[in-house]
Structure 1
Amino acid sequence: MELGTIVAKDDIWVLWAIIIVWATVSLFLEQRYQWASTISGAIIALVGAMLLSNFKVIPTSSPVYDTVWDYVVPLSIPLLLFSSNILKIWKESRRLLFIFLIASVGTMIGTTVAFIILNHSVPYLSKLGAMMTGSYIGGGVNFAALSSKLEAPSDMISSTVVADNSVMALYFLLLIAIPSIPYIKKHFNTQYGGKDTSGSQQAFWQPKKIQLLDIAFSLAIAIAIVAVSFKFSEFIQHVVPQSNVWLVILVSFFGDFYLLLTTLTLVVVAIWGDFFEKLAGASEIGTFLIYIFFVVIGTPASFVTIIKTAPLLFIFVIIILIFNLGLSLMLGKLLKFNVEEILLASNATAGGPTTAAALAIGKGWTSLVGPILIIGTLGYVIGNYAGTLMYQWLSYLA
């Protein structure tokens, strides 16, 4: 039980009020004031939550945060994908897939280097490295699956989660800031550089004609898709036996909830493209849910807890992300990728497709939201296999 916070972890309504009000304030400041627009509402949302949790106003964990991860995040995915017809964005997705795979290789190299450096100082590091490989190629679902599979001690798992969440909060800030660095502006290709960035943001935030039926259809269809995806995923995992490697691969591919959710949404949008092109309001609702998510991902970033429980794991995670981002930037520049594509691919591996979409929205890279959601979700499929391979490799190195 977490002690010493003004708002208790089970004070549900107060926590919901704080999260939603702060997300709203972040959006308001971004659209009303130039200084807030410059640093982006995403940073305001995330840093505000970090300050509230570190100064003991709100707890670092709560069922409310779990609800955001379990319900708000899945709901935001179809809402944001309604404007993304896969037939129209395949060209962009293909480019992003390549840089995504480069970032994934960077994760594996970084995990190996971090393991070599810290293996004698941190117990069970081969298991933790495998878990972080799965997480930093796929996402939390891969981390959970590999944690259960490898049976690492619960206290080490908890310390790794704390280190991961804290470093990721800082990593998001770094990714948001990188496009403004003079060296990056000078030496990297950009799709949204100069005046185009603010223009695209203004266009994204411009008032649109939205009817009540638009909101009703958006929410109804999104919730229906989430429900069908969840039940179908549950059905496949219970019905299909996993008695051999091919069936395991089959279940991992067709039974993964997030992959099903994205695939089903994309199929529906491709079939009824004309309807979804006319549907207004889905992106706005999805964007607000993303800002709620931005607030929540800042709450676990307790630096005091990190210093007390997981300083070496803190370093371990940082090394992985350095190689992930470093290799992405180096090869991305060599292969003439835009800096936006490089940063989103790195974000998608490290934080998952939703955080990558949040970065795209927060920076005004609206044309890349759909493609990065598509590509980022594929990480859920390969994350478990990459993590398993990494465990075998690190066990050999040990």
Structure 2
Amino acid sequence: MKETWIAADDTLVLWGIIIIVASISIVLEQRFKWASRISGAIIALVIAIILSNTGIIPTESSVYDAVWSVIVPLAIPLLLFQINLKKLFRESGRLLLIFLISSIGTVAGTTIAFFMLKDHIPMLDKMAAMFSASYIGGGVNFAAMAAKFETPGELVSASVVADNLTMAVLFVVLIIIPTMNFFRKRYKTPHIDEVESRAGKNENLAKSYWKPKSISLLDIALAVGLAFTIVLVAKKLSEYFDKVIPSGDNVSFFWNLANGLFGDMYLMLTTLTFLALLLFPHFFERLQGSQEIGTYLIHIFFVVIGIPASIPLILQEAPLLFVFAVTIVIVNVTISLVFGKLLRFDLEEIMLAINANAGGPTTAAALAIAKGWQNLVGPILIVGTFGYIIGNYVGTVMGLWLGSFL
């Protein structure tokens, strides 16, 4: 790994930088209209890209792993505590359909990108399996396809670099599209309208949305304590079911489905949180502060998303793989927007479906949170997790089929 000004094992300084960048992004979003329009999430992500690409901070560190393994799981129940369950179940069915349409966009994009570049990138069938599985599911599907098709390590590393930069660019695009009049005029935007209804269009929407409220020390203790309890129980339960429920190529679709449903920590986390909301609705209605704490944690997550997007590494190691990944994403976005328009989906639903395909349910939930679309956070977590289940099947089929053309 390239030497940087701050070492990868300088954990206190790296934590400090991540927290400071997240805080700055929120302050700018709340103080300035221009920052509110592009969102604190983009500001956090862009600052992180600058820091990592100028050699100030490393692109890999155990600190970033801790954000994925601790901060993200903790943020999810904190944000779900404020969800309206009636709206959640009503919205999930619609999101599943646009998610599946977006998945078709991934398959089409992978196919087009493969035939464009198959004579220029070695073993592109293996890359196609990895990217198609990942851009429907997530990193776990990427790793599974890399192992299944025995992809050489150097190609896997180059693919990861290309994927990181592509995802960083895509997140920026998905956050900006809902602010553009071209799309606002052509698609329904009920969730954006709801956010704007809390303030005049010329006011700072972020500042208006996050108005001060009464939060006690007891609220903070209950919110954080309960969130950690749910995370720990979800982790242990999902690990148990992952061990006892068989999965893999040698077992039936039913068992793989069951393992994907019960053995996935994020789905278990969501399920347990919903169960708590159903059992104790009045308690969570009165609980203050969970949304604010969870949103702050998500801004930390956006900082970490931007850090691995190493532009020099792309230019040195994987320029054509970056083109391959970008082509898949462009086709996905195009198909999702076209069919989303034809089937009268909301613009917010389309953006989250694309994000859930390319970046997984956690990043899609982060987008919903960053934009203030609170009632879509739970549904996209549920729907996005479905991609983990089908991703390996799609990746396997794509790898075997496209491999016949080499």
With normalisation by structure 1, the TM-score equals 0.94
What is the aligned partner in structure 1 of residue 142 from structure 2?
143
What is the aligned partner in structure 1 of residue 233 from structure 2?
228
For residues 251 and 374 of structure 1, do their structure 2 counterparts lie closer, same or farther at Cα, with a shift above 3 Å needed? closer
What is the aligned partner in structure 1 of residue 389 from structure 2?
381
Deviations 1:205-251 (A, max 9, x none): 11121122221122222112221222122222223344622433332
What is the aligned partner in structure 2 of residue 239 from structure 1?
244
For residues 387 and 42 of structure 1, do their structure 2 counterparts lie closer, same or farther at Cα, with a shift above 3 Å needed? same
Cα distance in 1 for residues equivalent to 2:255 and 2:375: 37
What is the aligned partner in structure 2 of residue 178 from structure 1?
177
Alpha-carbon offset, residue 104 of structure 1: 0.9
Conserved in 2, the CA contact under 8 Å of 1:53 and 1:300?
A: yes
What is the aligned partner in structure 2 of residue 349 from structure 1?
357
Conserved in 1, the CA contact under 8 Å of 2:129 and 2:395?
A: yes
1:285 is aligned, of 267, 287, 293, to 293
Stretch moving more, 36-45 or 318-327: 36-45
Q: What amino acid does structure 1 have at the position aligned with 2:210?
A: W
Q: What amino acid does structure 1 have at the position aligned with 2:217?
A: L
What is the aligned partner in structure 1 of residue 38 from structure 2?
39
Alpha-carbon offset, residue 2 of structure 1: 2.4
Alpha-carbon offset, residue 202 of structure 1: 4.4
- Tell me the secondary structure at the aligned position of residue 375 of structure 1: helix
What is the aligned partner in structure 2 of residue 207 from structure 1?
212
Alpha-carbon offset, residue 203 of structure 1: 4.8
Q: What amino acid does structure 2 have at the position aligned with 1:334?
A: L
What is the aligned partner in structure 2 of residue 365 from structure 1?
373
Conserved in 2, the CA contact under 8 Å of 1:259 and 1:378?
A: no
Conserved in 1, the CA contact under 8 Å of 2:134 and 2:141?
A: yes
Conserved in 2, the CA contact under 8 Å of 1:96 and 1:345?
A: yes
Count of aligned positions: 397
What is the aligned partner in structure 1 of residue 344 from structure 2?
336
Alpha-carbon offset, residue 285 of structure 1: 1.1
Stretch moving more, 18-27 or 64-73: 64-73
Asked if residue 259 in structure 1 is aligned to residue 267 in structure 2, the reply is yes
- Tell me the secondary structure at the aligned position of residue 83 of structure 2: coil
For residues 197 and 105 of structure 1, do their structure 2 counterparts lie closer, same or farther at Cα, with a shift above 3 Å needed? farther
Conserved in 2, the CA contact under 8 Å of 1:73 and 1:293?
A: yes
Alpha-carbon offset, residue 126 of structure 1: 1.6
Conserved in 2, the CA contact under 8 Å of 1:204 and 1:366?
A: no
Conserved in 2, the CA contact under 8 Å of 1:197 and 1:364?
A: no
For residues 252 and 377 of structure 1, do their structure 2 counterparts lie closer, same or farther at Cα, with a shift above 3 Å needed? closer
Cα distance in 1 for residues equivalent to 2:382 and 2:99: 11
- Tell me the secondary structure at the aligned position of residue 331 of structure 2: helix
What is the aligned partner in structure 1 of residue 151 from structure 2?
152
Cα distance in 1 for residues equivalent to 2:111 and 2:59: 30
Conserved in 1, the CA contact under 8 Å of 2:98 and 2:336?
A: yes
With normalisation by structure 2, the TM-score equals 0.92
Conserved in 1, the CA contact under 8 Å of 2:87 and 2:375?
A: no
Conserved in 2, the CA contact under 8 Å of 1:145 and 1:384?
A: yes
Cα distance in 1 for residues equivalent to 2:43 and 2:360: 21
What is the aligned partner in structure 2 of residue 303 from structure 1?
311
Stretch moving more, 268-277 or 93-102: 268-277
RMSD: 1.9
Alpha-carbon offset, residue 195 of structure 1: 4.3
Cα distance in 2 for residues equivalent to 1:19 and 1:268: 31
Deviations 1:79-112 (A, max 9, x none): 1111224344211122111111111110111111
What is the aligned partner in structure 2 of residue 95 from structure 1?
94
Structure 2: segments with no counterpart, 5+ residues: none
For residues 159 and 190 of structure 1, do their structure 2 counterparts lie closer, same or farther at Cα, with a shift above 3 Å needed? same
Cα distance in 1 for residues equivalent to 2:14 and 2:287: 32
Conserved in 1, the CA contact under 8 Å of 2:36 and 2:206?
A: no
What is the aligned partner in structure 2 of residue 196 from structure 1?
197
For residues 316 and 76 of structure 1, do their structure 2 counterparts lie closer, same or farther at Cα, with a shift above 3 Å needed? same
What is the aligned partner in structure 2 of residue 53 from structure 1?
52
Cα distance in 1 for residues equivalent to 2:17 and 2:163: 24
Alpha-carbon offset, residue 386 of structure 1: 2.1
Q: What amino acid does structure 2 have at the position aligned with 1:350?
A: A
- Tell me the secondary structure at the aligned position of residue 280 of structure 1: coil
Cα distance in 2 for residues equivalent to 1:315 and 1:61: 23
Cα distance in 2 for residues equivalent to 1:254 and 1:387: 22
Deviations 1:26-65 (A, max 9, x none): 1011111222212211111011011111111111111111
- Tell me the secondary structure at the aligned position of residue 187 of structure 1: coil
